[in-house]
Amino acid sequence: MTGRMSMMRGALLGLILGALPAASFFASAVSAAELRGTGDLGIVVERAAGRVMVVENSHRRTLASVEGLGDLSHASAVFSRDARYAFVFGRDGGLSKVDLLTATVVKRVQQAGNSIGGAISEDGRLVAVANYEPGGVRVFDADSLDPVADIPAEYGPAGEAGAARPRSKVVGLEDAPGNRFVFSLYDAGEIWIADLSDPAAPAVRKFTGIGRQPYDALVTPDGRHYIAGLFGEDGLAVLDLWNPDKGVRRVLDGYGRGEQPLPVYKMPHLEGWGFADGKVFLPAIGRHEVLVVDATTWQEVGRIAVAGQPVFVMARPDGRQIWVNFALPDNHLVQVLDVPSLAVAATLTPGKGVLHMEFTPRGEQVWVSVRDLDTVRIYDTGSLREVSTLPADKPSGIFFTARAHRIGL
């Protein structure tokens, strides 16, 4: 710690000496020696290259690239509470801790064979990863990435003596208040709450029979409700984390009303802010609809017909707009929904392979990754005009450090 402090002092001194011509300082690219905050930084995943770009959203520019992060298909990231480090979760089970200021990988562990994202605890001390292989959750110390806890997702009745119980793929791993992690077991149809108040001895509470094939989940911005989407049936499972004794309830049950669903070419993603004006906006599975639920009564209050099967349904941080992207064959489009009128306000055509969207912290701009054009497009959310583009190699997830201070992201 002392060493780090003296390093920082040294850097600061170097900065003061080096920055005398102030203009040249501001014009220079970021370096380890440049003193700066991280509140306007983020990463863009270049998934085929196994690399992330470190970006800055104040001036809409790329600062650096960080390589060697493995298979980044479906990669996601969370941030340390000081918003300096990104924890990048790779498909191949790699967990990488990236320093945004020095643009280096400070630590990397190969913690499983196959993974699907993770979360950081509310106190910032623990990073948890959802694993497909071996099915379960592994928890690491956020500083050192040393293993802290292992929670195998075993389910079903105990087999014969010595026979191992099956392990489920884990999805929808979210942080919740109380240093809890909440996640779903895809193969088992269960939701588990793991309380890591004592990291060495996680207390796990299991909810069984929550519905078939939960595929992803979200925690509402207030940290109160955990919502798992079900692939195997029309409906969602909701757990009130203030009242877990009440168990899991089903909402939007049978929203397809027996209609034949369309083929699903890309699983929707729930983790985002589909929460606005007291309502939750959710992607329907196998239909061209965004479902709208009252967040108090959990009754359906509307449906919005959209251009394709929604993948991400994300509210602008102020909740005035919802931005939606789509699965194949409509993945060249983005639609903007008007929240008060529950109507489509605009249809944009960023290009083929729109994979993700990320709002700036207050939402005046949104960054959109367009995989097949190797481009990130940046829109002004007021005028809906494109204000800039950045080149990127097959960009997918975009994550800004504002997530560090949000529950469930």
Partner 1 sequence: MRSRLPLLAGAVVLLAAAVQAGEPPPSPDPSRPEMSAARRAELGRMLVHDCGSCHGLTMKGGLGAPLLPEGLAGKDPDALAQLVLEGIAGTPMPPWAPLLSRDEARWMIDQLREGRLREGRLREGKRE
Q: Which of 215, 275, 312, 399 binds partner 1 (CB under 8 A)?
A: 215
Q: Which of 111, 213, 325, 365 binds partner 1 (CB under 8 A)?
A: 213
Alpha carbon 77 to its chain centroid, in Å, reads 7
Q: Which of 195, 199, 224, 265 binds partner 1 (CB under 8 A)?
A: 265
For residue 240, what are the contacts with CB-CB under 8 A and spacing of at least 6? Answer: 224, 225, 246, 249
Q: How far is the CB of 121 from partner 1 (least distance, A)?
A: 25
Considering beta carbons, is residue 84 or 371 the nearer one to partner 1?
371
Q: Does 116 bind partner 1 (CB under 8 A)?
A: yes
Task: Work out the burial of residue 349: count CB atoms within 10 Å of its CB; fewer than 13 is exposed, 13-18 middle, 19 or more buried.
Answer: exposed
Q: Which of 231, 240, 302, 361 binds partner 1 (CB under 8 A)?
A: 231
- Alpha-carbon distance of 204 to 139, in angstroms, equals 13
Q: How far is the CB of 96 from partner 1 (least distance, A)?
A: 16
Residue 158, number of CB atoms within 10 A of its CB: 9
Q: How far is the CB of 264 from partner 1 (least distance, A)?
A: 5
Q: Which of 97, 125, 138, 169 binds partner 1 (CB under 8 A)?
A: 169
- Alpha-carbon distance of 183 to 262, in angstroms, equals 27
Q: How far is the CB of 404 from partner 1 (least distance, A)?
A: 27
Which residues lie across from 269 on neighbouring strands? Answer: 312
364 contacts 378 by C-beta, under 8 angstroms: no
Site string for partner 1, 351-370 (x = CB under 8 A): --x-----------------
- Alpha-carbon distance of 268 to 77, in angstroms, equals 18
Q: Which of 19, 328, 342, 344 binds partner 1 (CB under 8 A)?
A: 328
Considering beta carbons, is residue 328 or 407 the nearer one to partner 1?
328
Which residues lie across from 357 on neighbouring strands? Answer: 368
Considering beta carbons, is residue 102 or 114 the nearer one to partner 1?
114
Q: Does 298 bind partner 1 (CB under 8 A)?
A: no
Task: Work out the burial of residue 355: count CB atoms within 10 Å of its CB; fewer than 13 is exposed, 13-18 middle, 19 or more buried.
Answer: buried
Q: Which of 267, 301, 344, 384 binds partner 1 (CB under 8 A)?
A: 267
Q: Distance between terminal CA atoms of the chain?
A: 29
Q: How far is the CB of 127 from partner 1 (least distance, A)?
A: 20
Considering beta carbons, is residue 42 or 90 the nearer one to partner 1?
90
Considering beta carbons, is residue 43 or 315 the nearer one to partner 1?
43
Site string for partner 1, 333-352 (x = CB under 8 A): --------------------
Q: Which of 394, 395, 400, 401 binds partner 1 (CB under 8 A)?
A: 394
Q: How far is the CB of 340 from partner 1 (least distance, A)?
A: 34
Q: How far is the CB of 48 from partner 1 (least distance, A)?
A: 6
**Which of 343, 312, 391, 309 is CA-nearest to residue 378?**
391
Q: How far is the CB of 170 from partner 1 (least distance, A)?
A: 11
Considering beta carbons, is residue 113 or 156 the nearer one to partner 1?
113
Q: Does 167 bind partner 1 (CB under 8 A)?
A: no
Q: Does 269 bind partner 1 (CB under 8 A)?
A: no
Which residues, numbered 34-93, are part of the site for partner 1 (CB under 8 A)?
A: 47-48, 71-74, 91-92
Q: Using CB under 8 A as the criterion, which residues of the chain lie in contact with partner 1 when the complex forms?
A: 47-48, 71-74, 91-92, 113-114, 116, 132-133, 169, 186, 213, 215, 231-232, 263-267, 328-329, 353, 371-372, 394
